[in-house]
Each structure stands twice: as structure tokens, then as C-alpha cells.
Structure 1
């Protein structure tokens, strides 16, 4: 056990080849090496397993130590009676570990000898077998229901022995049981469902065809342009205003839904742009000039060109 904290402090001699300017603690270096190379778990010894058990700091008296409403005592344990642990702040309280699944024994940890002192429950002879914390609690409840006291350890130990004996024998066949209500025969209510994948062979990775290439740039996948709305058919005529269609009689004027020059990134410019619709309308024909009296057709052509 590292009590000085050196395993958690960065050490100048521990550096990673990928981060040479970073100093690493022994714990972090060990975790890095385990993640890179793996490790082989070792089987713990009983001496090491006891360090994983829950514990209490208790003072050893002439009656031993108490955990809950149970007392543990032995001749070896009495050697630590009123003895100071030598650890600042801990005083005469020693570390006592126990197992909830086998509370028959407890172990005192002697850090000076690096060893355990095993102690048994004082009324274990009344039980005569292994038991658990849950069995002890159930026996305590039975004693309390019969008017007993939870500090009567001898009586609770006898009740633990009775519970284990009754569990060993099983239910008494002579005990009358309450008749069960008749609920009718058991009906099979589950409807069989056909497997939709039945008969389909497993895919072979070697025969999987890769997906085709994209038809657009990758930056436009999530921002695809909206399609232009379809043009509505309504009255048209010559001499239209730029960007608007002449409405039929009885209808309000509406902007032309066509596409105008200067389309960028699939977006149309607003209808107020003063340019002629090249998708929705044909270019307007020029109006013919009125023929004056005495002018020939050539002059009309010349006048039209001017």
C-alpha cells in the first residue's frame, strides 16, 4: 500500500515516446502499458482477499468486539485489548473486517506484523454450521415478534439453527395448504409470427457492391436547393413589366415564378429584379410603326430599324 502518494505523482524518469515533454506518474504509466500490452490476472490469496471485505474501526475490550448485535472474542484477540495502534488519529481502534456472506469469523488487521487475527462468533456452537447476514436478520425479526430482545444473542443463534434446519428439510407434507382457486385450463394465446427473413441467405461480403459516387458536391448534401415552383397559367400579353405577368381579368397581379438570369447556387433572385423572364415568357416583339401616307415600304423598314 502506497501511503506516501508516490505512485500518483509525476516522475521525471517516466515519459511516453509519443509525448516526450509530458511527465507521467507510475499509476498512469502502468495503466498505459496495460492498455497497450494487456495483463494476466493472478489469483488472489486468502490473505489478499480479506482486504476486499467491508470493515469497521473498533476498540477491543474484555468482551471482544461487536459488529451489529453480534459479539466476537478469542484469546488471540485479547492481546490487542486497550492497545494503541500507533497510527495518528486512529487511537485504539483496530481495523476489523467481516464477510456478510459468512459472518462466522472476523479478522483484525495487524499492520505491524502484516498479518490477520481470526476470531469466531461466541455462540457459533449453537448454530453448528455456516450462515449468512440475511439469516441472522430473519432470526432477529422472529425473536422480536415473539417478544424477545435483539441483544439476546443466544436466543437468536438458536433461531438461526432452526431456520437452517427447516430449510434443510423443506416444506412439511403434513401441513395443510390453502386450496388454490380454479382458473380454468391454460390457453395458448401466442400467435406464431412468420420470420420475414426466413429463406434469405446471409450476405457474402465479397459480393457486396460499393455505393455509387455522389451526384452533387459533398457540401450540398445537407443543404440541397429547393426545386423551383411550377409556373401557374394565367393571362399573358405584350408590353409586360419586367419580372411580372399580366393577370387575367378579375385576378390580382402576381410575381412571375420563373427563373431569372443570375442564378447562383440553385437559388433564384427576387422578382423585383428588373430583367425579363427567360423561362416563363418569350421575348416581346417590337411594335410595328404606323404607316404614314406617302411613305414606301422601304422607308418603313428603314424607320423600323432606326
Structure 2
């Protein structure tokens, strides 16, 4: 039997008990990047992460020979404001060093878009501080939405400026007196009142 067949037979015989994931289980399921812990911290995709707890592990071999001594770093692609480093002493959370410049969590694709905006503006897209400011402006616009009211006011202002000025109204003193209307008012039409509806009499007609 394959492992899946064996597992299916055991579940059919004994059932299973669903368990809620713990915090460490969540970290185990996150994507992994192997990085060195340098004096400045950890670099991932032009971002630097650092924490005081990384002090004893800086410039040290992780013990993973197959990974050339790099350290196992887990990250959440939908919130890359911090990473999680596995050490022999447990997990260490290392925040992004420029996180105070950004007002909200952000994903990896948001970071890539901010780098493209920075490059289009003539900034150095490898400069974390410059990209962080662009990222903060991007998240602020996304949080508050477009300024619809200002756009409408500007549109109305431009439209009003494009219209020609109205002609001056004629002076009242120079206007000739209007002749009275000699047409007599037509008599009003005769009003025919509605009768009172008698439900019983109406029912007798249908019997």
C-alpha cells in the first residue's frame, strides 16, 4: 500500500481529529528563503530585515552544509513587513528596517509596483528609503481612495471657464410696455362628478 492508501484506510477505521494550527505550524507553511545573517541584518528582494535578537547569529554558519551555511528565513508574501528566522534557539521575528515609513502592511507585489513607480519617477529603485516613501504614498492613496470631490470641482471650474460670457440684459426702462392680452380666458369645462360605488348593487348585476 502507498502512504496515502494506508492513511485512507486508517482514517476509515479510526476516524480523524481536526486540529487548529498553532503559530509555529503557520510559520512552517510559509515560503522559505535561505539567507546569510550579516552585521546589517538579512536582505531579501532589496529589503533589509533586522532585530536585536539576531546578534549572536550574525556572520555565523547555520549548520546546514547543503545550504552553504545560510539560514532558513520564512516570510508571508502577503505581509512582507517582517520575516521569521529559524535558529537553534527558536524563531526570531525580524521587521523591515524602514517599516516606520509605511503606514500599512504590504504584499510582495505591492513592493514590486512601488519599485516600478520609483524607477519611473527617476528614483533609485534599489534605495529602500526612496521606495518606502513611494510605497507609503501608494498605500495612502489606496486607503483614502480618489479625491472625487476635488475632481468634480476642477471639472466644473474648467467647464465654466470654457463657456462664453452671457450677453448683457436689456435695461427695463427702455423696454416698451407690453400690451394687455385681449384674448378672453376660455370658460372652464363642465365638471362631471363620479357616482358612489355600491358594492352590493354591483354584485347583483353579476348574479
1:56-205 → structure 2 map (5 Å cutoff):
56-110=33-87, 112-113=88-89, 115-173=90-148, 174-175=150-151
Pairwise CA distance, 1:167? 1.4
In 2: Cα distance, 1:25 partner to 1:34 partner = 14
For residues 33 and 161 of structure 1, do their structure 2 counterparts lie closer, same or farther at Cα, with a shift above 3 Å needed?
A: same
Q: RMSD value over aligned CA atoms? A: 2.2
TM-score (structure 2 length as normaliser): 0.67
DSSP-derived class of the 1:161 partner: helix
Structure 1: gaps of 5 or more residues: 1-23, 179-306
In 1: Cα distance, 2:143 partner to 2:103 partner = 14
DSSP-derived class of the 1:76 partner: helix
Pairwise CA distance, 1:126? 0.4
Q: Which runs of 4+ in 1 moved over 3 A?
A: 24-31, 35-38
Structure 2: gaps of 5 or more residues: 156-207
CA contact (8 A) 2:114 2:134 kept: yes
CA contact (8 A) 1:103 1:131 kept: yes
Q: Quick check: 1:52 aligned with 2:29?
A: yes
How many residue pairs were aligned? 153
Pairwise CA distance, 1:76? 1.1
Question: With CA pairs under 8 Å and 6+ residues apart, which has the higher RCO, 1 or 2?
Answer: 2
In 2: Cα distance, 1:132 partner to 1:48 partner = 21
TM-score (structure 1 length as normaliser): 0.46
The structure where helix makes up a greater share of residues is 2
Pairwise CA distance, 1:38? 3.2
The structure with the larger Rg is 1
In 2: Cα distance, 1:28 partner to 1:132 partner = 39
